[in-house]
Amino acid sequence: MPEEPCQCPDCQRFYREHDRLIRENPSLRQQQELSWAALQAFRTLAGRVLEELQKHYPEPDPAPAAAATPAGAEAEAVSPETEAIQQAMGDLENINAHLFSIEALMERIFDVRVPEEVEQKFREVAGELAPDPLNADRLRLNRLLHQTPDLPDRG
């Protein structure tokens, strides 16, 4: 028996968004453009925020320096807020590096062009996967079907 999809508010929001992206971008070409635009938007925004933070906050001290610090020459105390910002800057740098790698992989996916018949198949399948905007109802219906203990024709 297939596991029932989670119905918590986060998951429901995800299902709705997932289906909307299929419904509104039902061809390979549109999915390519959508994903590319989303990736670039993410990179632009995260990169700009990182630049802003780098202008206003000092780079964290390299960790091993403590050993070389003479006794008595205490390192300047860093406030917890600054420490949190520095941590976030490191995380953003990692995110940007990952996004850069993803972009390199995506470029290959986006080189692909398919014949119109195949695009038509995309649109067909998209219509089956995400048929109408009222898909909360569709999810509820799916759930009801899953909950039916015995289908009549199984007896």
Nearer to Zn ion, 6 or 109 (CB): 6
For Zn ion, which stretch binds (CB under 5 A), given 11-19, 52-60, 64-72, 147-155?
Answer: 11-19
Measured from the CB atom, the residue of 8 and 67 that comes closer to Zn ion is: 8
Identify which of residues 10 and 59 has a Cβ nearer to Zn ion in the complex: 10
Look up residue 23 and give its two tokens: 């419904």
Q: Which of 4, 11, 118, 129 binds Zn ion (CB under 5 A)?
A: 11
Q: What are the start-end ranges of the H helices in the chain?
A: 9-24, 28-56, 65-68, 80-109, 116-129, 135-147
**Is residue 8 close enough to count as binding Zn ion by CB under 5 A?**
yes
Indicate if the alpha-carbon torsion angle 138, 142, 148, 152 is positive or negative. Answer: positive
Residues found near Zn ion in the complex (CB under 5 A) = 6, 8, 11
